[in-house]
Chain A
Amino acid sequence: MSNRLCILIAEPSFLIREGLKTLLSNQGQPYRLEEFDAPVDDLDKLINRINPDLVLLNPKLVVRLVSLPRYSDNNFEPYYIGLFEPGTPPHIQSKFDQMIWLDAEKSELNKVMEKVLKHLRNGLSEPENNSLSERELSILKLVALGHTNNEIADKLFISAHTVMTHRKNITRKLGIKTVSGLTVYAILNQLIKIEEIQGAD
């Protein structure tokens, strides 16, 4: 993962896009930008392809907005900011991590942007601690041994969703996405023994 933020703006109005770009550059953070102004048929596809860290999206542009693409095997989860026009219904609002009302004061917008970028920067500026936590280690072992998310959830008395979150963090920390990759990692680091593996995958 590069340390430059990738930001996707999907908004029909040219003026608003320009305004957002000015806001972004005021924050003094280098970023790569992708812009869209046309209706998006397939949001999943778009997110998958661009793999952005931050998405500024006017929900009006999405043809059928059912849910926002979250975790997938290959991508890290983007942070979604809704660009809302007055009257955006609550069930749409609640899908987003953060919202910007397009009729808000500029100072208001600046505050939101500052907060969001800070949050993202913390996530990006790696070298912090890449080592796995105890919990992550035990989950990694179980994954490497061939257990499914549900089995792991049962064993550790946590929800499958929590297992997913841990797995996502493991992948981000190690740079390894697949089960067989994690197995190799676990053997190399003597977390498990080759003989322990039940069948091949």
Chain B
Amino acid sequence: MHIHKDLKMAEVIHMNHHLLPVLNRFDIYLGFGERTVEAVCIDHKVNVDFFLEIVNTFHDSSYFPLRHLQSFKASMLIDYLHKTHAYYLDVKIPEIGRYISEIAQTSDFEEIHRKLLKDFFNQYQHELTNHINKEEQGVYPYVLRLEKALESEDANAETIKELQQYSIIEYEKDHDDVEAKLFDLKNILIKYLPPVHNNKLLNLIVHEIFELERDLNNHGHIEDLILVPIVENMEKELLSRHPKRHSNV
């Protein structure tokens, strides 16, 4: 069942509590009373349609608007994606990192196992941080510049020049998958590390990795399947206003 604006927000959480961190990215927190999704969104000055699109893609991964693309403002999307990045780097990764160093200290893993686990996770952290920084410094600001150029009558000449040399398709092409290592880490923990005594912490780590993997998956899909097409349209629109000059003119 899809989430719609007349559902009570509390029901939404009963339906799928994994949505809580997603709500938090809109600065929406628990304590909904009997208010509907729409009412809560209005209270928090959140665009209801946008909210619904995001929670539904998260709730049901086959919901993706492959055919009918939504025309949301790109800056809205960037804001959401940016908060998601912050959640990974400031909350989730440090949390899992703490568990991992705790298990490395307290468990009866052999020295080599501890080292492998810690190194692997550090590598992952490094990889994810790089991926995110690249987006935060490259493609996101580019999208915001495009939006600004579209909104103003006479666009900044530099933005137009940039647009004539770069396209979001390039981002799309080498937008790599950041979940692969996480997938491996999961199997290393589930299948390949030898059993240890204080298993509860390991359970927790595995659980956290599943959650993070799901979140990252959704995030990547939003970038590829919503952000990219929206930006493609923006590029087309801007280019039609400022046609490319032929080099031999």
The 8 A CB mask of A145-177 against B (1 = contact, 0 = none) is: 000000000000000000000000000001111
Most A CB contacts (10 A, CB to CB) among B62, B66, B183 go to B66
Contact of B120 among A174, A177, A180, A189 (CB under 8 A): A180
Judged by a CB distance under 8 angstroms, whether A181 is at the interface is yes
Query: What's the interface size class on B, roughly?
Result: 20 to 34
Nearest opposing residue in chain A for B124, CB measure: A180
Which chain A residues numbered 129 to 156 have a C-beta less than 8 Å away from chain B?
Answer: none
Asked whether B225 lies within 8 Å of A49 as measured between CB atoms, the reply is yes
A18 to B179, CA, bound (A): 36
A188 to B191, CA, bound (A): 11
Which chain B residues numbered 207 to 249 have a C-beta less than 8 Å away from chain A?
Answer: 221, 224-225
Q: State the Cβ distance, A25 to closest chain B Cβ, in Å.
A: 20
Judged by a CB distance under 8 angstroms, whether A34 is at the interface is yes
B residues in contact with A194, CB < 8 Å: 112, 115
The 8 A CB mask of B191-216 against A (1 = contact, 0 = none) is: 11100000000000000000000000
B residues in contact with A34, CB < 8 Å: 62
B residues in contact with A177, CB < 8 Å: 180, 183-184
A25 to B224, CA, bound (A): 33
Known: A45-B224, A73-B180. A176 touches B64 (CB 8 A): no
Asked whether A185 lies within 8 Å of B225 as measured between CB atoms, the reply is no
A179 to B150, CA, bound (A): 43
A44 to B177, CA, bound (A): 14
Which chain B residues numbered 110 to 125 have a C-beta less than 8 Å away from chain A?
Answer: 112-113, 115-116, 120, 123
What's the A-B contact tally at a CB cutoff of 8 Å?
Answer: 57
Q: State the Cβ distance, B113 to closest chain A Cβ, in Å.
A: 7
Contact of B180 among A36, A46, A74, A184 (CB under 8 A): A74
Q: State the Cβ distance, B17 to closest chain A Cβ, in Å.
A: 23
A residues in contact with B115, CB < 8 Å: 194
A residues in contact with B45, CB < 8 Å: none
Asked whether A187 lies within 8 Å of B116 as measured between CB atoms, the reply is yes
A178 to B178, CA, bound (A): 11
A residues in contact with B62, CB < 8 Å: 34
A194 to B119, CA, bound (A): 12
Judged by a CB distance under 8 angstroms, whether A38 is at the interface is yes
Known: A45-B225, A180-B123. A174 touches B112 (CB 8 A): no
Judged by a CB distance under 8 angstroms, whether B4 is at the interface is no
30 A–B contacts from the bound complex (CB under 8 Å): A34-B62, A38-B67, A45-B224, A46-B66, A49-B221, A49-B225, A73-B180, A74-B177, A74-B179, A175-B183, A175-B184, A175-B187, A175-B191, A176-B188, A177-B184, A178-B181, A178-B184, A180-B181, A181-B188, A184-B116, A184-B184, A184-B188, A184-B192, A187-B116, A188-B113, A188-B116, A188-B188, A194-B112, A194-B115, A201-B123
